[in-house]
Each structure stands twice: as structure tokens, then as C-alpha cells.
Amino acid sequence: MTVLPAWLLRHRVIIEPYLGDGAYGPVFGPAAVHPCLADDERKMVRDAEGSEVVSELTLYLMPGVVCPAGSRVTVNGRSTTVIGSYVRDGGGLPTPDHVEAVCQ
């Protein structure tokens, strides 16, 4: 398995994973800090319901990082919400395996 090179992960992100909705709104898990590459780029993506939405930020994380849709993330002093999270695994091919999270 090939993973993203550590020298690419220049940023730090605080991830509070979305656990579901409670009586008073969204419920988040404990915050964890992870190295990442933050890419500020505006693009159209589809959310969990299939609607087209605008993503302002894409995070590239090491394999195994849990960052479900609805999670609250803070990077570079900016807090936002995860639209979708995708595991990019080459299945043994020499590709950089990683987790990609698109954010509002």
C-alpha cells in the first residue's frame, strides 16, 4: 500500500466526527487533530442526498481517518462542515491511498 507522502501534509485539521442528531441538534464526537493537505478550490459536488452543492475546501488525509458527512472541521482558522468523505484506495496498485473530504 502506498500512502500520501508525509511532506505533502502541511496543514493540521481538527475533526469533530458527526454522530447523528440529538434532542438539541447535531451530536459530534471528540475532537482529534490530523495532518492534512488543505486545497481551497470551489467546485460542484453531490451531497449524500444527490443534490449538487458547492464545495469550497478539499482535505486530503491519511488512510483510516474517520470524517463522515456532517462532521465539523477546523483548518487554517476556518470552521466548516464536511459534505462527503471518500476512501481513495488503489487496491494494491502503486497509487497514493488516502481519504478525501469535501467541505462547504
SS3 65: coil
Q: Under DSSP, is residue 16 helix (H, G, I), strand (E, B) or coil?
A: strand
pLDDT tens over the chain, length 104 residues:
688 888 999 999 999 999 999 999 999 999 999 999 999 999 999 888 888 999 999 999 999 999 999 999 999 999 999 999 999 998 888 888 999 999 99
- Residue 9: phi and psi, rounded to 5, are -85, 75
At the topology level, CATH places domain 2-103 in Thrombin, subunit H (2.40.10)
Q: Alpha-carbon distance 68 to 91, whole Å? A: 21
Residue with cell 488516502: 98
What pLDDT score does 1 carry?
Answer: 62
User: CA–CA separation, 66 vs 73, rounded Å?
Assistant: 12
